[in-house]
Amino acid sequence: MTLSERIRHDFESRILSGTLAPGERLPTEQDLMELYGCARMTVNKALSALSAAGLVERRRKAGTFVARPRVHSMAMDIPDLGAEVAARGQAYRFALSRRKLVRAADAAVKWDVNGEVPLLELSGIHFADDAPMAWEHRFVNAAAVPEIVEAEFSSPGGWLLEHVPWTEADARITAAAATGAEAKALAVSAGAPCLCIERRTWRGTEPITYVRQLFLAGAYELNAHFGPSAGSR
């Protein structure tokens, strides 16, 4: 591994692990060049790469700072439903119907976490202007994000977006008919078409959350854009 790669990796892992919190300032290039005993260009290359990757933000004279978790830099927005509904001028509300700490082994979901890991199980309904638009069932790795167990939030997705940067995610998107319980919660008849999104996110290799969301057809659409992204410049 080359030196600049090592410097980059050092800070990357500290940022991803949370040792360096969002907003925190990194040492100056001067300091790092003494610390690693190398030329400034070498340090600069490493930090510039981190900046291009969106992990840090650099400001002249001020310094280099760990970037705040980015919502929009990824190819597909991880939607913060609250913000989206508000952007359409509707009133948003999330009604929590379940909040319980469970062992991973007891969770009725296949998720690649160790059975002894504590999970916070959450479920509830998203409302736009008091009309139900989505049903959500979520598990959060309470070992990785202990704060959430006591946290107050208006919606779990929004809270996570603000507090826990994710570095990796996958999504599975299907269409499904609402089953009895789901249909009842969403106040539609059984068999109504829904958009089903299952998503898992990680910070590094550490699982953060698994969520299954069921959107009423017509109430929501997913938009994705692929191409030269602003974050890659």
Partner DNA sequence: CTCGCGATAATGTATAGACAAAAAGAAATC
Partner DNA sequence: GATTTCTTTTTGTCTATACATTATCGCGAG
Query: Which residues of this chain interact with DNA, rule CB under 7 A?
Result: 2-5, 26, 28-30, 37-42, 44-45, 47-48, 51, 58-64
30 binds, among DNA, a copy of itself, none (CB under 5 to 8 A by kind): DNA
CA distances to 123, 149, 171, 207 from 145, rounded to whole Å, are 17, 8, 21, 10
CB closer to a copy of itself out of 62 and 175: 175
Task: Choose the contact partner of 89 out of a copy of itself, DNA, none; CB within 5 to 8 A by kind.
Answer: none
Q: Are 176 and 214 in contact (CB under 8 A)?
A: yes
Indicate which of DNA, a copy of itself, none lies near residue 29 (CB less than 5 to 8 Å, by partner kind): DNA
40 binds, among DNA, a copy of itself, none (CB under 5 to 8 A by kind): DNA
* d(C-alpha 213, C-alpha 124), whole Å: 10
Angle at alpha carbon of residue 146, lines to 140 and 147, rounded to 5°: 100
CB 51 within 8 A of CB 13: no
113-to-92, 137, 197, 198 alpha-carbon distances in Å: 32, 17, 20, 16
Report what 155 binds from DNA, a copy of itself, none; CB cut-off 5-8 Å by kind: none
Nearer to DNA, 61 or 88 (CB): 61
- Binding residues with a copy of itself: total (CB under 8 A): 36
User: How many other CB atoms are found less than 10 A from the CB of residue 160?
Assistant: 24
d(CA 27, CA 24): 10
Contact pattern for a copy of itself over residues 150 through 189, marking x by CB under 8 A:
-----------------xxxxxxxxxxx------------
Q: List the interface residues with a copy of itself, window 210-229 (CB under 8 A).
A: 215, 217-218, 220-228
Does position 205 interact with a copy of itself (CB under 8 A)? The reply is no
57-72 b/e with 16+ CB inside 10 Å = b? bbeeeeebbbbebbee
8 or 199, CB closer to DNA? Answer: 8
In the complex, minimum distance from the CB of residue 223 to a copy of itself, in angstroms, rounded to a whole number = 6
What is d(CA 101, CA 148) in angstroms, rounded to the nearest whole number? 11
Contacts to a copy of itself by CB under 8 A: 52-53, 74-76, 167-177, 191-196, 202, 215, 217-218, 220-228, 232
